[in-house]
Amino acid sequence: MGIELRNVIKQVGAETHIYETDLTLEKGGFNVLLGTTQSGKTTLMRLMAGLERPTRGEVWFDGENVTGVAVQKRSVAMVYQAFVNYPNFSVFDNIASPLRVARRPKAEIEERVRKMSELLKIDSMLERYPEELSGGQQQRTALARALVKNAALVLLDEPLANLDYKLREELREELPRLFEDTGATVVYATSEPLEALLLGGFTAALHEGRVIQYGPTAQTYRNPTSLLSARVFSDPPINTATVTKSGDSFVLSESVSWPVPGSCTNLEDGSYTIGIRPHHLTPDRTADTAVKISGTVLVAEISGSESVVHVNVHGNNWVSESHGVHPYEVGDTTDLFMKVDRCLYFDSHGELLAG
């Protein structure tokens, strides 16, 4: 068994930072906490690490109740977005410091520091001091110091946020592989849905102090249990609208409708909410089931590889995301194609009906 939060609540004064939470992370697994700022990611990590105690509930690790165990007595490593290094230590000594505290043999320290510094591409900087490093290099040093410990629980709180784009991509690929053979339980916090998908493993979607869904990352993305979970796991934001089920059709407007999918045939006629992700609303018809809709361009954001356009579709502000450069002019009417087979359907309470 890895780490368990049993009926955990965290309050600070009159504010509740974490509402009652039951969460089990399997030993040796790679777990992502996904949510916006102040959703509770860092607080959950601090509770897991022992840096904070829950107001109510228990924290268990490897079958042992560690709620009252000090962080110094736990096999835990943590890296924050705001990195911290010892200013009077060289890069080598910063990375080696936890191994020296553990009184590991000198030869082992040398080998593990070299290996970790090579992985993080700071092996040429081992004799430098933090003040001689860039922000990204300092963050890599802090990351190396945490990883070199081989801790049983590794908590990574948006550790790549201050790195350049290329290195972030490389480390996103390397990190899950790095922990595969260590047996460590890894928890990685991010506010970026794409980063969660790239890291894989399992994902917990958080919103305002609540874990609203947990499961394999791809499954959590494809099958959100609620509209709230779908919103957490969508950037740009998922598009929503009210549609009417009338017989064999879902109707968005007088000119836009489509056949009711098999998963929705048992629904009563009436109003429902649909959700369609921006990359399933494109300027090109890429599927036979795509339905054409028209909208007024509100904002167009064109990059070298992506086109993002905000459009008013029958009173709804929707976003389309597509590969390549597509010419849009603000105020123009444009045609987009909605992949209705990728629509998610929710009831009046925002609970998933079908998708």
Q: In terms of domains, do 220 and 320 share one?
A: no
Which CATH number belongs to the domain containing residue 335 in this structure? 2.40.50.140
Q: Which residues on neighbouring strands pair with residue 279, listed in sequence order? A: none
Q: In terms of domains, do 188 and 337 share one?
A: no
Distance CA 73, CA 81 (A): 24
Q: In terms of domains, do 188 and 266 share one?
A: no
Q: Is-contact 312 298, C-beta < 8 A?
A: yes
Token pair recorded at residue 304: 């070298």
Q: In terms of domains, do 175 and 259 share one?
A: no
Summarize pLDDT for 105-135 with one digit per residue, the tens: 999 999 999 999 998 889 999 999 999 998 7
Q: In terms of domains, do 171 and 305 share one?
A: no
Counting as low any pLDDT under 70, the low residues of the chain are 1, 287, 355
Q: In terms of domains, do 166 and 311 share one?
A: no
Whole-angstrom CA distances from 305 to 279, 301, 328 are 13, 11, 15
Q: Is-contact 141 89, C-beta < 8 A?
A: no
User: Residue 237: enclosing H or E segment and its boundaries?
Assistant: none
Distance CA 355, CA 345 (A): 6
The amino acid at 29: G
Which pLDDT belongs to residue 179? 82
Q: In terms of domains, do 224 and 322 share one?
A: no
Residues 6+ apart with CB under 8 A from 252: 241, 243, 274, 293, 314
Total count of domains within the chain: 2
Which pLDDT belongs to residue 300? 87
* Residue after which a domain boundary falls, among 215, 232, 249: 232
Q: In terms of domains, do 255 and 347 share one?
A: yes
Residue 339 belongs to domain spanning = 239-354
Q: In terms of domains, do 168 and 297 share one?
A: no
Token pair recorded at residue 119: 């992985």
Helices and strands (DSSP H and E) totals, the chain: 8, 21
Q: In terms of domains, do 207 and 260 share one?
A: no
Q: Name the 3-class secondary structure at 299.
A: strand
Which pLDDT belongs to residue 3? 93
* Residue after which a domain boundary falls, among 206, 232, 258: 232
Which CATH number belongs to the domain containing residue 96 in this structure? 3.40.50.300
Which pLDDT belongs to residue 156? 94
Residues 6+ apart with CB under 8 A from 44: 5, 18, 21, 33, 206
Q: In terms of domains, do 200 and 340 share one?
A: no
Which pLDDT belongs to residue 180? 78
Which pLDDT belongs to residue 319? 95
Which pLDDT belongs to residue 1? 65
DSSP state letters, 198-222: HH-SEEEEEETTEEEEEEEHHHHHH
Q: Which of 339, 346, 217 is nearest to 285 (CA)?
A: 339
Q: Which of 8, 10, 34 is nearest to 22 (CA)?
A: 8
* Residue after which a domain boundary falls, among 169, 202, 232: 232
Residues 6+ apart with CB under 8 A from 98: 77, 145, 148, 149
Q: In terms of domains, do 301 and 212 share one?
A: no
Which pLDDT belongs to residue 287? 67
